[in-house]
Every structure is written in C-alpha cells, then in structure tokens.
Amino acid sequence: MYPFIRRAVIRNYKSIAACDLELPALAFLVGPNGSGKSNFLDCFRFVSDSLKTSLDHALRDRGTIKEVRRRSGGHPNHFALRLDFQLPNGSGGHFSFRIGARKDGGFEVQSEECKVSYGVTDEHFYHVESGKVIRSSLRVLPASLPDRLFLVAASGLPEFRPVFDALSRMEVYNLNPKEIQAMQKPDPGELLRRDGSNIASVLQNLDAPHRALVNNHLARIVRGLAGAQTKVLGSQETIEFRQAVKGQKHPWTFLASSMSDGTLRALGVLVAIFQTQQRTSASPNFIGLEEPEMALHPAASAVLLGALREASAQSQILVTSHSPELLDNEDIPAESLMAVDNIDGITRIGPIDPAGRQLLRDKLFTAGELLRQNQIAVDPAVGENLFGEHQLNLFDYPSK
C-alpha cells in the first residue's frame, strides 16, 4: 500500500512551530503525554473539517484562530499546512494553505495552492492570494473568497474533485467507550464517527466477510469473546457481544452497557480500521488513531499490531502511542517510528535519532524495548533546518 499522505509540512499549528515529515503507510507517533502527538494528528482532521464543513467552523470548533496558531514570544499571526498526496488512481500532487489572523479577531486565507498531475501532460493547479486567484491552469474558475478554502469551490470541477474527495475523507479517531456503550440512534452506517457513537450502524453496514474479519480479531484480542453484532431495541440500537462461558453449550450474550472499556475500545479500533476494507464512496484513505492500546491488556497488543498492519494495506494509518507492548515487534521498521518531544512548549516531530535507527535495523532491540529505556529520541538534525518558513517549501508558486 502506498501512503496517501506522502509528506506533511506544518508551520505554527498549536504547539508545532515547524515540521516536515515523510509518512509511510503505517506510522507510530511515539512520545510522552503532552508532547504534541495529538496536535499533529489534529492537523489532518483540521483539513478534513475545513473541507467538509467550512474553515470558520473548523476554527470555532477549536476555539478561535488564537487557539490554533502557535503561541510564542514572537507572536506568529498565521499558521500553514501542506500535504503532499498520492490519490488512489496513482495521481500525485499537493494541497497547501496559510491562514492569517486579522486585527479585528477574524482570519483570512493568505495563500492557498493545489496541484495535481494525472499524467505527464495532464497537470492542473491554482494559486490563491487573499481571495484572488493569481495563477491557474484553467481559464474558468468559481468565485473565491478570502475566508474560504478555494478547494471547496473548485470541487465542482472534475480536475480538482478527486483531491477534495480524498482530503475531506481523512478521519481521526479518539474513541469514547461511554459513547460506544450508550444506546444509539440508527444512521446509514457509512462511516464511523470520531467518538464511535454510531458503531452499531457501521457494524451492521459491513458485509459478512468484513464483519467476520472484525470479529476474528476481536476474539483474539479479548479471550472468550465469540463475536459482536448489532442489536435493535425499539427505535434504538446497540452492540450485543457473545461470550463463551465454561460449562455452557451456547455463548452467553451481553449488551455493550455491560462490557469493559477495553473491550469497547478494541471493537471501536477494529471497526475504524477495517471499515475501509469494504471500499465505498465514504471510505477514508487516511485514518488517525489516538492511543488504540488504551485500556487493553498488554498481552493483546501483539494482536492489535497485527490488525493495524493488515488494515494499512488498504488505508494509511497513523497511530499515537506510548505503549512499549504495542511496539514490541522486531519487524517494525525504523521508518515507521516518528519520535515526538516538547522543549520549552515547542513540539518537535521527526525520525528517531541515528543510534536508535541502527539498533532497530540490526535487530538488537525492538522499538518497545527502546521506549522502555527512554531511548527513542528525535533526530537532532530535525531542529536545525526547519525554523525559517522559506525552508519549509509550503508553496511551489511563490507570491507575486
């Protein structure tokens, strides 16, 4: 599986001052609590939210632009993101933008750029500055506004629709066992919500082979479970678990309200990653997971890792973790590990340092063993070259 997002460039987003990362199909963000792992994942959700709803809604959902742009003594008044992508049809390109704060408390899209190549001679692009299209491969374009991402308007054009569809379907999950446990209103079940609050509908919507895939992994993660299925109760629905009981011929059934947080989170993670195996128009090409091992028994981590690796053959998966057990596998390549730390309130994210990479390549330690010894550190070279914005290469077409 090729990675959908090949490269992410970030400037002044929350605690991240500067970041330029190449991403594999399955990546693990490893670092202590409060280091900024969730802020990195939120960049992808911010892009998706801005396209699916609006830029204004995405900012208000996070407070205001003051809560999104990095706070520092230098008072940066903007933040910027760039995602280099490869679409499912093999086409490549990038999407980038810089959002600036205005003195009245508002914001504007200072710069925005999209480029996609469908072949050697079939390239399309646009570059917008403060609500005005200054370069484009197309003569006729929709209207642009300074407080809207132009890609939303350009999604009506066949040249840019595939980019909009792919980026707007990026999903980041922070599963909430209480929401999975509660009775749920039925919905079409095309896509799992961020907190898992429609999991009953999504599980029901999976075809038989993919539902069996979820249940097979769940039974290996939670010993004694024979599977899970959707249970309709009046106008609402929930999850019904089947559990083998010693001395009983048939499994006993328990509703989600009786199950542990670990079991509910395990089901949520499996549905999140395997919903993409059943390709639909809503299937995400990128999935972010916040600490999927949380509340799981350490012995289940190897099974969870196997599930993540299997699912990453269909969709790119980015995981935050500080669990040595999840990373206790000598086959995890050094390229899949991204170290995260926070120094004086500034998040650094990058490949692990050369010494750690060599230990993993020589299979002298697993990533989990290095984590236990506090030996997973950001490559020192990362911080040396990123803090000048011109060095981040956010835009291919500089401002006029």
Q: Tens digits of per-residue pLDDT, 82-131?
A: 999 999 888 999 999 999 998 888 899 999 999 999 877 789 999 999 99
pLDDT at 277: 67
Task: Give 349's DSSP letter.
Answer: E
Which two tokens mark 341? 């730390």
pLDDT at 103: 86
Q: Where are the beta strands (DSSP E) in 140-224?
A: 171-173
- Closest by CA to 149, choosing from 133, 162, 135, 136, is 133
pLDDT at 326: 93
Contacts of 194 (CB under 8 A, 6+ apart): 45, 171, 172, 173, 174
Q: Count of residues for the chain?
A: 400
Q: What is the rounded CA–CA span in Å between residue 22 and residue 84?
A: 9
Task: Give 385's DSSP letter.
Answer: S
pTM: 0.93
| Greatest Cα pair distance in the chain | 77
Tell me which residues of the chain have a pLDDT lower than 50. Answer: 387-390
Q: What is the rounded CA–CA span in Å between residue 388 and residue 373?
A: 33
Q: Where are the beta strands (DSSP E) in the chain?
A: 5-13, 16-22, 26-30, 78-86, 92-101, 107-119, 122-129, 132-136, 171-173, 225-233, 236-243, 252-255, 286-290, 316-321, 337-343, 346-351
In degrees, rounded to 5, the angle at the alpha carbon of residue 150 between the alpha carbons of residues 144 and 154 is 100
pLDDT at 157: 95
Q: Between β-strands 236-243 and 132-136, what pairing exists: parallel, antiparallel or unpaired? A: unpaired
In the block, tokens 């991204």 appear at 338
What is the per-residue pLDDT across 7-59, written as a single tens digit (0 to 9) for each? 999 999 999 999 999 999 999 999 988 899 999 999 999 999 999 999 999 99
Q: What is the mean pLDDT of the chain?
A: 90
**Intra-chain end-to-end CA distance of the chain, in Å:** 39
Which two tokens mark 37? 């792992």
Q: What is the rounded CA–CA span in Å between residue 387 and residue 155?
A: 33
pLDDT at 389: 44
Q: What is the rounded CA–CA span in Å between residue 37 and residue 338?
A: 10
pLDDT at 281: 64
Three-state DSSP class for 94? Answer: strand
Which two tokens mark 309? 């690796």
Q: What is the rounded CA–CA span in Å between residue 229 and residue 35?
A: 38
Q: What is the rounded CA–CA span in Å between residue 284 and residue 281?
A: 9
